[in-house]
């Protein structure tokens, strides 16, 4: 497994504007969750600007099941993509059953 450098991470936070405003405006990955328990992940995204992307998610109507989130600042797109792939594999997202 390649060594992914994570500059900073948030820990699991409540899905609200106050917490989202504290997210960094740089490259990284964010995870949307329906609960803080392991596996209750709605989706995972890589972003060039974590805060901006999460604020856009907040505007969407179809995310009523998102109640928690966390973010990981990687600083560069390569590490963000690697981390995204790792988390998608871990949480078994986007897999055909």
Quote the least distance from Cβ 11 to other proteins, whole Å. Answer: 5
Is 35 a binding residue for other proteins by CB under 8 A? The answer is yes
The yes or no reply on residue 69 touching other proteins (CB under 8 A) is: no
Verify binding: residue 6, other proteins, rule CB under 8 A: yes
Q: Helices H, strands E: what count in the chain?
A: 3, 5
DSSP 35: S
According to DSSP, residue 10 is labeled -
End-to-end CA separation in angstroms for the chain: 25
One residue of 34, 58, 66, 81 binding other proteins per CB under 8 A: 34
Measured CA to CA, the distance from residue 62 to residue 59 in angstroms comes to 9
Nearer to other proteins, 13 or 85 (CB): 13
Residues that bind other proteins (CB under 8 A): 6, 9-14, 19, 34-40, 67-68, 70, 72, 87, 90, 97
């Amino acid at each position: 497994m390649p060594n992914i450098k994570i500059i900073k991470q948030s820990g699991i936070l409540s899905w609200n504007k106050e917490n989202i405003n504290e997210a960094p405006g740089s490259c990284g990955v964010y995870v949307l969750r329906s609960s803080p328990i392991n596996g209750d992940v709605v989706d995972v995204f890589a972003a060039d600007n974590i805060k901006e992307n999460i604020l856009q998610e907040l505007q969407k109507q179809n995310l009523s099941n998102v109640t928690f989130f966390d973010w990981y600042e990687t600083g560069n797109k390569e590490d963000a993509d690697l981390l995204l792939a790792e988390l998608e594999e871990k949480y078994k997202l986007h897999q055909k059953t």
